[in-house]
Structure formats: structure tokens, C-alpha cells
């Protein structure tokens, strides 16, 4: 068994309106930073786990597809780092 550190990024699909992102975009402009074209909020989940190297991808896919993200509204991607 090996140790892994996985970072999962979850973001709303482009077709889903992100009103909180819009609110932050509006606040950002008040700092005087011009030119923000788009701002959308996502989530990042950090997982440390023990797994066989051959199973790690399937385990993370299962977690992402069934729990971490709702694929009706969200997309996900992840990076796997062996410790």
C-alpha cells in the first residue's frame, strides 16, 4: 500500500449560473481592479489516503462521481500525488 495526496477541484458547469461568483465579481471591481471578465466559485477537497497504486484512480473517480460532485451541475478534475 502506498500513501497518496489527492486534490480534487469541483466547479459548476458553465451552463449553471453562479450568483455568488457574480457577487464577488461585483465586489472585486470595487477594489479598483479593472478587467475582470468572469469569476466563478468552485470547491477544492484535499484527501490523503492509502491505496494500491493500481486502485487509486478508480477510488478517486468513484468518490468524485458519487459523492464529491453532482455531475448534473458540476464538473471535477483532480491531481494525484504519491507521498
By C-beta, is 4 or 68 nearer to other proteins?
68
68 binds other proteins (CB under 8 A): yes
> Which of 14, 19, 32, 35: binder of other proteins (CB under 8 A)?
19
By C-beta, is 29 or 52 nearer to other proteins?
29
Q: Please enumerate in sequence order all residues whose Cβ is within 8 A of that of 47, keeping only pairs 6 or more positions apart, or say none.
A: 5, 6, 7, 8, 60, 63
3-state secondary structure of 68: helix
20 binds other proteins (CB under 8 A): yes
Q: How far is the CB of 29 from other proteins (least distance, A)?
A: 17
> Which of 14, 15, 33, 37: binder of other proteins (CB under 8 A)?
15
d(CA 62, CA 56): 10
d(CA 25, CA 35): 10
Amino acid at each position: 500500500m502506498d500513501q497518496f495526496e489527492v486534490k480534487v477541484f469541483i466547479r459548476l458547469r458553465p451552463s449553471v449560473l453562479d450568483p455568488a461568483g457574480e457577487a464577488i465579481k461585483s465586489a472585486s471591481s470595487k477594489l479598483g481592479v479593472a478587467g475582470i471578465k468572469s469569476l466563478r466559485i468552485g470547491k477544492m477537497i484535499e484527501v490523503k489516503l492509502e491505496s494500491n497504486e493500481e486502485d487509486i484512480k478508480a477510488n478517486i473517480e468513484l468518490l468524485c462521481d458519487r459523492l464529491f460532485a453532482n455531475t448534473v451541475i458540476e464538473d471535477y478534475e483532480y491531481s494525484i500525488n504519491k507521498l
